[in-house]
Every structure is written in C-alpha cells, then in structure tokens.
Amino acid sequence: MNFSEVFKLSSLLCRFSPNGKYLASCVQYRLVVREVSTLQILQLYTCLDQVQHIEWSADSLFILCAMYKRGVVQVWSLEQPEWHCKIDEGSAGLVASCWSPDGRHILNTTEFHLRITVWSLCTKSVSYIKYPKACQQGISFTRDGRYLALAERRDCRDYVSVFVCNDWQLLRHFNTDTQDLVGIEWAPNGCVLAVWDSCLEYKVLLYSLDGRLLSSYCAYEWSLGIKSVAWSPSSQFLAVGSYDGKVRLLNHVTWKVITEFAHPAALSDPKIVVYKEAKKSPQPGLDHLAFPPSLPVANHLSAAESKYEIASMPVSLQTLKPVADRANPRMGVGMLAFSPDSCFLATRNDNIPNAVWVWDIRKLRLFVVLEQLSPVRAFRWDPQQPRLAICTGGSKVYLWSPAGCLSVQVPGEGDFPVLSLCWHLSGDSLALLSKDHFCLCFLETKEGVSPALGQRDGHA
C-alpha cells in the first residue's frame, strides 16, 4: 500500500471525474485539476470567491464551482481552458446547484426554494420550475438520465413532478400521501420511485413511473420513524433505517419486509465475527536504542498505531445514551450502504457510534462487526468489489473485505485526521480528505513506482 504526497484542500472539496482520469480539488477560490495517473497539475482555475461546492459533468468535460454566498456558479472546460461560463442568480440567491445527466444543463435552486432555474450551456436558454420543496433529498435523476423526479410543496400538500430531461417537459404530476416529505430516490433501474416521510411519521411510499402507488409501508406509529434509506444496486432491495435501531429490508416483488436487522449492544452468536480495534504498543528494537532519541512526534505516531483483534463471545459494544430533550437525537440507523454486488449491507447505529455492522444479504444475517476506538465518521464501498473503507477522524484508514480487515496509519510528519474519503472508479486508489489537506492511497501497485507514488510510501 502506497501513499502520495499531501496536497492542500478546502472544505473537503475533492472529486474524481466520472471517467477516472482527473482529480479536482479546491483551495479557497482556486480550482486545481490533476491527472490521476501522475497527480501533475493539468489546469488551474481562479474563481470569483471561495468555492462551496464542485461537481463534474457526466462526460468529465466540464466542472462547475458554486459560490453560494455570492449567488454565482462558474463553469470551466477541460478541453478549452480559455472558455468559461458565469451564471449569476442575482437577488434570488443560490442554495444548491447540480448538473443534469447530459452534462449540458445546470439546475440552480434559489434561496427559500422559490424556484429551480435550468440553464442550458448549448442554447443559453433558461427554464423555470416552480414550488420545489426544501427537503433533504428533493431531486432525483434516473440512472439512464432520462427522467427527473422533483419533490414539490403546494397548498400545504406534498407533490412529485416527473420531467423528461431532453426538453424539460412535465411527464407526470401527482400528490403523495405524506405529512412532510423529506426524500425521494429512484431505484437504480429507474422503474420505481421511493418517497419517504419525515421522522415524525413512519411512511415509505413506492410509485411507478406513471405515478401509480405500488405500495405503502409503515413499521410502527407514535414514535420517531425513518432516518435513512438506500436502494441496492440490483434494485431488488430497499433498506430502511429507523430510529428504533433496526433496518427493514423490502423486496422488489411484493414490497413487503423480508427481514429486520437489529443492532443490539450485546452479541453472543458464535457465528458472528467481531473485530475490535486495539492500540498496538511499539515493539522494542534497535530504533529505541538510537542516539539521539527519536522525535516526540514520531514516538506519538508509532504509539498511536492500532490493529484488529478478534473478540471472543460474548461481546458488549460501547453505547451512547441519547439526549432525549434535544432535536435530532443520536440514535437509530443513520448510515446505510450496499456493496456494488448487492451482497453486503454496511450500517451504523448512531447510539453505538464506534461500530460498523456488515450484513450478508444472501443469507440475511449479520456477518461481521467492526468496533473502532473512535466514532465512525464515514464509510464507502469499493465500486468494483465488496471492500469497505472506513474513517474515524484519526490518522488511519480502515479496510474490510470478506478475507479480513486491516488498520493503516497514514504516513508523514504531523497528524492527518481523515474526515472523509472517496474511491476512484477502478477501486485501485482512495482519496483521504482532512480539513486542510488530502492525499491518495494506492491499494494495488505494479512493478516500478509511478511519479504519483514516489513521495510517501507506507506498506501494510
């Protein structure tokens, strides 16, 4: 395993291009585009202000930089560096910006969600969509890029409008049986739209493309309800994480629950493997006899190294008691992610924040639990295989696959707190993001060291 040198970064804005050739990162008002193979700077763009959001077009030819405070979006071209585009929303303001799947239209959401403006880069035409709802996940495109579903709020009722992305014409418009809709998401095959209510009302609704209600699901009443929702890549399962600490798995045939995954703090099943992260004390050796003595920083880093140990049953996991009299209590299943082959589901129960649970979907049972020393900040699946990367805000990255798991210290001087991470399309490298820096972790290396690998080497 190898690591690149460290590069500067602002606001965790670091994105691989969809074709995997480029890596874009922001340093305040500068946008830096590098070639992934060498990490050499390909283009350097200067924006009008500090950037809050960046996004690649689907064909990797353009990249947008949104400056919400100014209400401005700037678009840059990789093929024609001298070409640029500036979109100014003016007094309407700007709270969100995204690409359409064709990579030639930009959707800007104005302040107070008064409207969505659709800007065309080809014809310079402008279209408006009224009544978008201010919710967590109110826009969803089908994977083939043909349709857009938009959550709307009119006359104190929730609606969904389905648009054809070719000409932005309205295809379907229907009201949803929700009290306060907070999210919509198409199944990966584009045939079913999942709609779910706020945490005050447990309700999941499934609609067809023509607006027909296929099914409605409610697990319980009079308690906090849905916290997270995720489709499997195969579109066969819809996982619903709830505040009661359970994940319900709905199947695509009957849309009924086929199983419930609970997250107990005490485990006793001998078939479950529990990996516990443990501090690894430095081994006595010649390094400790060197003169002059090692620097304190180096001693600190070596002492902070950790490893995984297989715990013997029964196991008690560290729990966090939620504060009941505050909003958004730290309880329930807040993170869900399916592996690319739909064989595994990774979850985190927020009141057991140090643990990642991996479920075997083929056997519908708990497969592995990984308990970290610190609360889990993020986890991401390798796009090509069932391999999970985890970060906890420390200077380590953790990897799990069915073959086992390991803890890797990010090498270098000083501390590198990994706050987020993202995979390259090939699954061969991983971008590790801290507050002010980022580096690349190369998981598979061939003979010879490429220019991107030459600075910082670490092996596990």
Provide DSSP, 24-72: EEEETTEEEEEETTT--EEEEEE-SS--SEEEE-TTSSEEEEEETTTTE
Distance CA 304, CA 21 (A): 35
Asked if residue 295 has pLDDT above 90, the reply is no
The sign one gets for the Cα dihedral 184, 186, 191, 192 is: negative
Q: Which residue has the tokens 């195969």?
A: 234
Cα separations in angstroms, 46 against 27, 74, 82, 187, 328: 10, 10, 12, 38, 38
Instruction: Please choose, from the candidates 191, 181, 188, the residue with its C-alpha nearest in 3D space to the C-alpha of residue 151.
Output: 181
| Domain span at 9 | 1-124
pLDDT in tens, 94-128: 999 999 999 999 999 999 999 999 999 999 999 99
Bridging pattern class, strands 365-371 and 273-279: parallel
Domain count, the chain: 1
Tokens encoding 202: 């447990």
With beta carbons less than 8 A apart as the criterion, state whether 97 and 62 touch: no
Quick: pLDDT tens for 47-92: 999 999 999 999 999 999 999 999 999 999 999 999 989 999 999 9
208's tokens: 């067809």
Q: What is the mean pLDDT of residues 164-180?
A: 95
Q: Specify the pLDDT at position 96.
A: 97
Give yes or no for a cis peptide into 292 (omega within 30° of 0): yes
Report pLDDT digits (tens) over 359-402.
999 999 999 999 999 999 999 999 999 999 999 999 999 999 99
Phi-psi region of 202 (alpha: psi -120 to 50; beta: other; left: phi over 0): beta
Q: What is residue 396's DSSP assignment? A: E
214 assigned to some structural domain = no
pLDDT-derived band at 166, boundaries 50, 70, 90:
very high
d(C-alpha 32, C-alpha 14), whole Å = 9
pLDDT of residue 328: 78
This model's pTM is above 0.85: yes
pLDDT, residue 300, reads 39
Is the residue at 448 inside a domain?
no
At 300-359, the pLDDT tens digits run: 333 367 889 999 999 999 999 888 777 778 899 999 999 999 999 999 999 999 999 999
User: Given pLDDT bands bounded at 50, 70 and 90, which one contains residue 447?
Assistant: very low
For the chain, percent of residues with pLDDT exceeding 70? 91
**Least confident interval from 11-15, 249-253, 447-451:** 447-451
pLDDT at 298 over 60: no
Which two three-digit tokens encode residue 359? 């479920």
Question: 335 to each of 211, 355, 375, how far by Cα in Å?
Answer: 29, 11, 13
pLDDT at 1: 84
Q: Does residue 75 form part of some domain?
A: yes
91 lies in some domain: yes
Percent of the chain with pLDDT over 90: 85
Does residue 76 belong to any structural domain of this protein?
A: yes
Residue 69 sits in a domain of what CATH number?
2.130.10.10
Are 76 and 62 spatial neighbours (Cβ–Cβ below 8 Å)?
A: yes
User: Which pLDDT value is given to residue 284?
Assistant: 54
Residue 65 lies in a domain: yes
Max CA distance (Å), the chain: 77
pLDDT exceeds 50 at position 421: yes
- pLDDT of 452: 52
SS3 category, 155:
coil
Residue 288 included in any domain:
no
Does residue 366 lie within any of the structural domains?
no
Confidence of residue 282 (pLDDT cuts 50, 70, 90): low
What is the average pLDDT value for the chain, to the nearest integer? 91
100's CB contacts (< 8 A; 6+ apart) are 106, 107, 118, 141, 145, 148, 165
Q: Is the peptide bond before 340 cis (omega within 30 degrees of 0)?
A: no
